[in-house]
Chains A and B, each alone.
Chain A
Amino acid sequence: MTASAPPAGLRGEPLRPAGEKSARVAWRRLAWVTWRQQRTALAGLLALPAVAAIAMAAIAAPDYGSSYTDDPARVGLKSAVVLLLQLTPVLAGLFIGAPLIAREAEQGTLRLAWTQGADRTRWLLCRTVPVMVLLALAAAGLGLELRWWLRAGGWAVWYAGGQWLPQFFSLNPLPFAGWVTLSVSLGLLLGAAIRRTVPAMAAMLACYAALLSATSLWWRHGYLSPLLRVVPHATIVSGGGYGYGVGFSRGSGPGPYILGTRLGWPDGRPLSASQLNHTAAWFREHHIAVWMTYQPSNRYSTFQFIEFGWLVALSALLVGLTVVLISRRAA
């Protein structure tokens, strides 16, 4: 008896039991496995913002006054809620992103995971995308609740230029969702590259802190070129000191974000250091004015879209790099 056909495996087809339609694991089943594997971490992580959400709902009474009139315990509680929300992206990267591949690689279970019928790309996308979408939606929802809470609570910092402050800007719905997505994808890539859990977590924390600091302190100011204008009703004294007390806010919503002020000539040129030593009369005589560089309030939403856009693009790039990395490396 002669065999007329080569075995299935030699023809390049996957070996599978007779009668099975396809060896490819369905997306739905992969998602189910993802849920089963990560439910504890997800539940633990989502518990933190849930606590913050409940705390916000519980303490934002309509007659809640300005933060200056609150007792220290309530001010502390408000600060704790904001801090908890700020930590959410970090924790997502630390406890969801970084260990996702690193832990499996460290324990050797990656070999098992990659021989279950789903190719590595599908395995990775199915494990990360639903989690990232879920966390991003939760973050956006929390951002909306925080915005309502700060307004209802009458937090003075939320008005005028306060909304531009780094600690609040990144908690707006779109940037918040973007930072959560980025932290998970950053942890994912570092976990795939380092393949050890604790070093991957530490590296993720360092990279995230560096990126967030650089964005908050420098990059965000330059999404669009700042504008320059004279500060009205400013008082200039001898020696170059000046003061101004005119608000630019419309009373509701974000005010302008003042990046800096300086003394300058009527055409906007700055004064040199030696020229600052003149008397108040000299400043009046030469029509010296206080100039400020600022981002106007109507750019507030635009800046959020810009930040969300580059964060999501960078996240997609990092996930893509992770796919390339795990495809090329042996299990």
Chain B
Amino acid sequence: MTGVTSVPTEQDARSPSRAGLALATWRQHRTAIAGLLIVFAAVAIGLIVTGIQTHRAYAIYNQHHCIVTRLPMCHQIVIGPMNASSWALGKLTGAAVLPVLAGIFIGAPLMAREFETGAFRFSLAQGVSIRRQLACKLLVLGTVLAVASAAVGALIMWDVSPYEHIAVGRYSGLSYWWPAYFNNTVLMLPVWVLLDFGLGVLAGVVIKRLLPAVAAALVAAAAAAAGTTGYATSSPTGLYSNLLRVSAMTMRDGPSPFGHTTYNASWPQAVIGTASYPPYPPGSVQVTSWFAGPGGRPLSPKAELQLFNSIPDSVFRSLARTRAWVGARHITAWISYQPADRYWIFQSVLAAILLAVAAAAGFAAVWLAGRRR
């Protein structure tokens, strides 16, 4: 009796095609992808339902020329059907959770579970390197995530667009420069999703245990959001805030020595409540403000406080006299701002920076995965 052993042919030894790898990725992760798409679809449906209501209310708002007039009923529309103060922020906050979900439920378990259960050894015997497998997974899942989140970002922009117009009309105070909105546009939301996804995958490859990797992905996503852009906090030292300072334009903040701003802790009580609109073009965002002394030199916060503390009590009681007293000392208010037409430039710059970080995290994960045994 002769045993016949089949010799591997050239075709058998050939590594699987990209299409085959993509199919394997789909088969392996279809439940996770379906689950995530359900979440994205639920968010999209919510945005469409509330968006239709918002747009209807905005049509009524337009009928009454509310953007250029300030009738009492305009305010009622804003706080009533449009519910500007809560709905807009609620939607934006809800959308901001999507990148985190992608990071902890898709990114972190991607390799951590394989390492933890030992399944990666099996995948090593499939005729294709683990680096190539991971690269294919990143490509397929990243594309699905990017497309889905771009669709949600586009819906958010449509949904919130009436508030933008109101903000340009300076009625509700909402602005599309807000970090909460700025980071959820059709461009920025996919970038955030890819960044958190990439950080999650890297955490999984480094830690190789599921729960610690998920926790690390959560911390990384929070740190990236809060520390990098001032996304979750109003930190003035974040990347977003610092980017806005680049080439900001400067102008005198109106004829009043106090400028347009209504409240500052160090200001006299007499000027509180003198609300007025900022002098920069509609749609711009104010970056900084300061007081300048007689030579145009900016006052330090200490000098500013000393100046206001030296205003006599008798002057304090009258806004006109306070203005005259401060004006006589050649104190002027200044602001720097970014005009509206630079909005998409800033979007592109921030997106490029974050996308580079996401790509670096992905490459690091692929490289490290090949080294791990």
Contacts and interface: CB of A to CB of B under 8 A. Distances in A.
B117 to A, nearest CB: 7
Interface string A195-223: 00111011001000000000000000000
Interface string B245-281: 0000000000000000001010000000000000000
Contacts of B109: 198
A73 B235 contact: yes
A137 B117 CA distance: 35
Interface in A36-70: 41, 44, 65, 68-69
Contact of A80 (B117, B233, B263): B233
A205 B100 CA distance: 12
Contacts of A12: none
Nearest to B32: A198
A65 B113 CA distance: 49
A103 B235 contact: no
B72 A197 contact: no
A201 B214 contact: yes
B76 interface: yes
A125 B234 CA distance: 44
A275 interface: no
A99 B215 CA distance: 13
B73 A239 contact: yes
Contacts of B101: 202, 205
Contacts of A205: 101
A128 B232 CA distance: 33
A80 B73 contact: no
Nearest to A237: B72
A69 B265 contact: yes
A280 to B, nearest CB: 11
A301 interface: no
A320 to B, nearest CB: 26
B154 interface: no
A287 B239 CA distance: 56
Contact of B72 (A44, A103, A241): A241
A198 B215 contact: no
Nearest to B266: A69
Interface residues of B, number: 27
Contacts of B113: 198
B131 to A, nearest CB: 24
A95 B234 contact: no
Interface string B49-77: 00000000000000000000001110110
Contacts, number: 60
A3 B230 CA distance: 81
B234 A72 contact: yes
A83 interface: yes
Nearest to B263: A68
A76 interface: yes
B233 A202 contact: no
A94 B235 CA distance: 29
Contacts of B265: 65, 68-69
A79 B72 contact: no
Contact of B210 (A68, A76, A83, A198): A198
Given A80-B226, A107-B117, A241-B72, A201 B105 contact: yes
Contact of B236 (A73, A103, A107): A73
A207 to B, nearest CB: 13
B72 A41 contact: no
A80 B235 CA distance: 11
Given A76-B234, A76-B235, A241-B76, A202 B214 contact: no
B212 to A, nearest CB: 8
B370 interface: no
Contacts of B233: 76-77, 79-80
B215 A95 contact: yes
Interface residues of A, number: 28
B105 A202 contact: yes
B35 interface: yes
Nearest to B265: A69
A23 to B, nearest CB: 32
Contacts of B105: 198, 201-202
Nearest to A206: B39
A240 B72 CA distance: 9
B206 interface: no
Contacts of A94: 214
B207 interface: no
Contact of A44 (B73, B215, B263): B215
B364 interface: no
B211 interface: yes
A205 B105 CA distance: 11
A41 B211 contact: yes
A197 B215 contact: no
Nearest to B75: A241
Contact of A75 (B73, B75, B234): B234
- Among B72, B101, B211, B232, residue most surrounded by chain A Cβ atoms (within 10 Å): B211
Interface in A76-111: 76-77, 79-80, 83, 94-95, 99, 103, 107
Contacts of A99: 211
Contacts of A198: 32, 105, 109, 113, 210, 214
Interface string A152-167: 0000000000000000
Interface in A1-58: 41, 44
Contacts of A69: 265
A252 B235 CA distance: 31
Contacts of B32: 198
Contacts of B263: 68
B35 A202 contact: yes
B235 A72 contact: yes
A241 B78 CA distance: 13
B35 A80 contact: no
Contacts of A107: 117
Closest 3 CB pairs of A and B: A76-B233, A241-B72, A69-B265
22 contacts: A44-B215, A68-B263, A68-B265, A72-B234, A72-B236, A76-B234, A79-B233, A79-B234, A80-B226, A83-B232, A94-B214, A95-B214, A99-B211, A107-B117, A197-B210, A198-B109, A199-B31, A202-B105, A205-B101, A239-B71, A239-B73, A241-B72
Interface of A: 41, 44, 65, 68-69, 72-73, 75-77, 79-80, 83, 94-95, 99, 103, 107, 197-199, 201-202, 205, 237, 239-241
